[in-house]
Amino acid sequence: MDLKLEGKTALVTGGSAGIGKGIARALAQEGVDVAICARRKEPLEEAAAEIARATNRRIVPIPADLSKDADAKNFVAQGHKALGRVDILVNNAGSSPLAPSSLETSEQLFDRIVSLNFKGPFRLMSLIGSRMAAGEGGSIINISSAGALRPRPQIAPYAGAKAALNALTEAFAHEYGPKVRVNTISPGRFLTDVSKAWPEEHKKNATAALKRSGHPEEIVTAALYLASGASSFTTGSLVRVDGGIA
């Protein structure tokens, strides 16, 4: 299938590693110029250079901490300046630190989790979505988590923030439709850089229907579908890519 993404532009958050880097690379392979952001400058620039070499597309690294409004606004401004417009936004940046218990979850940790996983995507969707709606339209893809659908005590603030992100998807689909489509991908366990610290039993993911964790390339196809016109009648939707979590 020709996804007809050649010449499009995209912003991908959390693009220096893991799922975000995989999506940025997949978009670039389809002919998309991409601006990526992450907090740490050096790994971000290395990822941008690597993707650019592999795809011969323009990959623009823009350091940003999306838990901060000023950084989110700067990412949008710099991304627009570098690319000329934004056709696709992928809200992938997130963090899911564990807490010993809800009682022992500090205010600082709670605020950090909610700001990055909920406030950051909200701000970017409002900034980018409004521009898309006033222009040629576009596609927004939110990367949520199976934790929002199957919450556990150790990740309660993270699960709550991602559940709120799922709700935002539908709200923004109505606010910026019909020219802008907004959808969510809900990943399960994926064998990215962060999984290197997991116990082997956790990697096996025995309770999932497919009895394994996913590989990053197994989620990019869903992102490409939602980014392209192939999903022209899909908005406000949640697509589970989780191996059949239980």
Catalytic annotation present for 158? yes
Q: Which helix (H) or strand (E) holds 25?
A: helix 18-29
Catalytic residue among 118, 158, 172, 225: 158
Residue 41 tokens read as: 């400058």
Q: What is the pLDDT of residue 136?
A: 96
Q: Crossing angle of helices 217-227/18-29, nearest 10°? A: 60
Average predicted confidence (pLDDT) for the chain: 93
Q: Give CA–CA dist 205/181, Å, rounded.
A: 32
> Residue 2: which pLDDT band, with cuts at 50, 70 and 90?
confident
Residue 195 has pLDDT above 70, yes or no: no
Contact 157, 105 (CB under 8 A): yes
Residue 36 tokens read as: 């990526």
Q: How far is the CA of 198 from the CAs of 15, 16, 189, in angstroms? A: 21, 20, 11
What are 221-230's pLDDT values in tens digits? 999 999 999 9
| Closest C-alpha to 237, from 179, 186, 184 | 184
Alpha helices in 84-211 (DSSP H): 107-114, 120-134, 156-176, 200-204
What are 85-137's pLDDT values in tens digits? 999 999 999 888 887 889 999 999 999 999 999 999 999 999 999 999 999 99
Q: In the chain, pLDDT over 90 holds for what percent of residues?
A: 80
How confident is the model over 30-58, as a mean pLDDT? 97
Residue 191 has pLDDT above 90, yes or no: no
Which residues are 37's β-sheet partners? 13
Q: Supply the pTM of this predicted model.
A: 0.95
Q: Which helix (H) or strand (E) holds 61?
A: strand 59-61
Edge-to-edge strands of the sheet including 33-37? 59-61, 33-37, 9-13, 88-91, 138-143, 180-187, 238-241
| Closest C-alpha to 20, from 147, 194, 164 | 194
What are 3-35's pLDDT values in tens digits? 999 999 999 999 999 999 999 999 999 999 999
Sign, CA dihedral 74-170-185-229, equals negative
Domains of the chain: 9-189+217-240 (3.40.50.720)
Q: What is the pLDDT of residue 208?
A: 87
Q: How many CB atoms lie within 10 A of CB 39?
A: 18
